[in-house]
Structure 1
Amino acid sequence: MNTPAHLIFGLAVFGRPNASRITAAALAGALIPDASLYVMVGWSLFVMGIDARIVFGELYFSDLWQAVFRIDNSFILWGAGFAAALWLRLDWAIALCGAALLHLLFDFPLHHDDGRAHFWPLTDWIYQSPLSYWDRNHYAGIVAPIEMGMSLIAGVFIVRRFWGSKLIVGLSGVLMAAQVVPGLIWAFVF
């Protein structure tokens, strides 16, 4: 899924009105599994000046990058963190780890040839889904509109739930726009 959708769903499920620490943890947990990708891509493209085709065609699949993705996309590690948070009754940690697990649950079935080793350290196996959230050769033409629709529904839920918080309502609006607008633009381009 696209990162804005992950943030929307993490906030919708684990965010709590009038509990900024928990809400911030939910947003962080929804973002962390993608954060290393943004850092490595940003560094490669904008600091190192590496061509995007190399970044996404070679570096993304390199042993180094995949080693990082194994850690921040591991059901095992996030599941252990979630279990520990439940045991210790740490609401913010439950939101953090829960939102990260939700991120992984949405990503797992939506990556065809660009998935992650979600069960590391037990195995380096990568599930090759028949579906993709971005690759039209693997049903993105169906998946992407569903993702957009679900994101809008969850975004409206957030707005209603957090109506008293201008920050969260505004953030939700930005996330919904970030999720929907590129899809509408690409629909017209193609």
Structure 2
Amino acid sequence: MNTPAHLLIGAAVFGRGQGRRVMAAALLGALAPDASLYVMALWALHVQGIPPQVVFDELYFSPAWQSVFAVDNSFVLWGLLMTVALIRRSPVLIAFAGAALLHLATDFVLHAGDGRPQFWPLTNWVFDSPVSYWDSTHHALWVAPVVAIACCLAFWSLWRSGLGPVGVVAFGLMLAAELWTARQWILFF
């Protein structure tokens, strides 16, 4: 899924009605598995001046980049953090690790040909899902509306939980970004 979808759904599932600290943790957890991609891609594109085709068709799949993705996309590491969070009964850590695990679970089933090694350090194996959130040759035309509905429901749930005006605008912008991005994926891929 696109990052705005991860943020909306992670916030709705793990942050809704739990206060600002827990909401912030849920948002950070939902973002964490994509953070390295953003940092490395932005550096390659804007500092090194590498063309987008090279960044996303070559570097993304390179052993160096995949080894970084293996760490922040590891069910094993996030599962260990969730275990610690549950033992400590820490709502903040539970929201952080839970939103990251939810991110990984949805990515696991929605990445066809562009998945990441999610069981590091046990293995570097990558699941090649038959379903994609962006590639129409892998059912994205069916997946995109389902993700859009899930994001709308997440926004509605967050809105109903008593968000203030800033929260409504912030999550509304995330929803708009997700719907626009999903439209672009469908039109171009």
Fold shared per TM-score above 0.5:
yes
What percentage of aligned pairs have identical amino acids? 51
Question: Which runs of structure 2 are paired with 1:39-118 in the superposition (5 Å)?
Answer: 39-118=39-118
Q: Cα distance 1:126–1:185, how it changes in 2: closer, same or farther (>3 A)?
A: closer
TM, length-normalised to structure 2? 0.95
C-alpha distance in 1 between matches for 2:122 and 2:179: 37
State the Cα deviation string for residues 136-162 of structure 1 (Å, max 9, x = none). Answer: 111111111111111111111111113
C-alpha distance in 1 between matches for 2:187 and 2:59: 30
Q: Cα distance 1:18–1:70, how it changes in 2: closer, same or farther (>3 A)?
A: closer
Alignment size in residue pairs: 189
C-alpha distance in 1 between matches for 2:105 and 2:150: 15
State the Cα deviation string for residues 11-69 of structure 1 (Å, max 9, x = none). Answer: 00111436111110000000000011011111111111101110011100111110110
Report which stretch shifted further, 141-150 or 24-33. 141-150
- Write out the 4+ residue segments of structure 1 that deviate beyond 4 Å after TM superposition: 185-190
Deviation at 1:187, TM superposition (A): 5.2
Question: Which runs of structure 2 are paired with 1:168-187 in the superposition (5 Å)?
Answer: 168-184=167-183
Q: Cα distance 1:188–1:112, how it changes in 2: closer, same or farther (>3 A)?
A: closer
Structure 2 counterpart SS, 1:10: helix
Q: Cα distance 1:189–1:145, how it changes in 2: closer, same or farther (>3 A)?
A: same
State the Cα deviation string for residues 69-124 of structure 1 (Å, max 9, x = none). Answer: 00000000000000101001111001000000000011000011110111111111
C-alpha distance in 2 between matches for 1:178 and 1:88: 36
Does the 8 A contact of 2:117 with 2:123 survive in 1? Answer: yes
RMSD: 1.5
C-alpha distance in 2 between matches for 1:184 and 1:122: 37
Per the alignment, residue 151 of structure 2 pairs with 151
C-alpha distance in 2 between matches for 1:177 and 1:133: 17
Per the alignment, residue 160 of structure 2 pairs with 160
C-alpha distance in 2 between matches for 1:137 and 1:186: 12
Per the alignment, residue 123 of structure 1 pairs with 123
The letter for the 1-side match of 2:177 is: A
Report which stretch shifted further, 26-35 or 178-187. 178-187
Does the 8 A contact of 1:27 with 1:99 survive in 2? Answer: yes
C-alpha distance in 2 between matches for 1:26 and 1:188: 31
